[in-house]
Structure 1
């Protein structure tokens, strides 16, 4: 039986003039981050690239895809920007100090009891006969949820797991074993003299 390895990447830096607008694209730094990411990943045998439909993630995927010309990529609703929030009956699972902030999450970003994110984990975290390696270009809280899952941490523990723009987190699944966190928030390719710079 094969293993599944999922690379999770937060999009590049968004153009600061766009605020938090869903159609806000990448800043010049964000485009440079995405290019460095693509060079770092170009030797990884990905079978697919899944990306959030929001502009900052889609643009990141386009730049990374330039370094992965044979790998199919598409917009994926499982990669969309979501914030797990507790339903009224599960509010006691979250520390009281976080509840006012969670109550303020816009309706379009709310994922009550992480129903969609749990489905995303089930969708990607399957193994088959062959090894599989896929790339998910997404958002901070989505990656935090996958990390929380891999660590079997409490439902609220995705809070505070902050991903750098275009950093790499890897979660792996093997048959009959729980998920494993292989790496978290790897930014080596974004640093001067890092792996991406060496391979210029």
Structure 2
């Protein structure tokens, strides 16, 4: 039975201009060290610079693994609820319905391309953004679309999902930061208490 193994990660820490910081480059290198023991077939990345550079760093350390762009991985809002939960009202304030529909199509394309079994056993890394990680996790758990809200992830935190042929997806790990030292964990989150 062929299984697609996805290792989904948010890009490394970036500055306000979308370029990786020193911490983001270090996070990406440590992620690559963790992934090096796996039989990775491809590294896919969003077209945005912070994801491109993170994927390049991972790819450089994995050897002959192809590193390619996947436009479906671009940062976007995958789903805008008709009844926005009050804590999210400011986030969605003024959100254009046409824009929401266009981004929903991107979210559907992301699932159609990656959230399914492959014709052969594959191990793929997806370097993307927090919302896309949340959308893939929500889908794997067969949760309602609104549940992507609040599923945050740290920079280069590892989420692993398998898609076996003939069975439901399995979420193996979510937001795993074991490869990062304490000082590099929790980037990408709002300030607050951390365990």
Query: Which range, TM-score by smaller chain?
Result: 0.7 to 0.9
Query: CA distance change for structure 1 residues 105 and 49 in 2, over 3 Å: closer, same or farther?
Result: farther
Unaligned runs of 5+ in 2: 183-195
Give the alignment partner of residue 167 of structure 1, picking from 144, 149, 157: 157
Q: Which runs of 4+ in 1 moved over 2 A?
A: 94-100, 103-107, 109-115, 125-130
* 1:125 paired residue number: 115
Asked whether 1:143 is paired with 2:109, we answer: no
- Report the Cα offset of residue 177 of structure 1: 1.3
CA RMSD across the alignment: 2.3
Specify the alignment match of 2:185 in structure 1.
none
Shift of 1:79: 1.0
Q: Which residue of 2 aligns with 1:188?
A: 178
Could you tell me how far apart the structure 2 residues matched to 1:116 and 1:188 are? 31
**What TM-score do the two structures reach when normalised by structure 1?**
0.82
For these two proteins, the number of residue pairs brought into alignment is 182
How far 1:96 sits from its partner (Å)?
4.6
Which residue does 1:41 correspond to in 2?
Answer: 35
Distance 1:11 1:111 in 2: 25
Q: Which runs of 5+ in 1 are unaligned?
A: 193-200
In structure 2, the CA distance between the partners of 1:110 and 1:45, relative to structure 1 (3 Å rule), is farther
Paired with 1:127 and 1:44, the residues of 2 have a C-alpha distance of 18
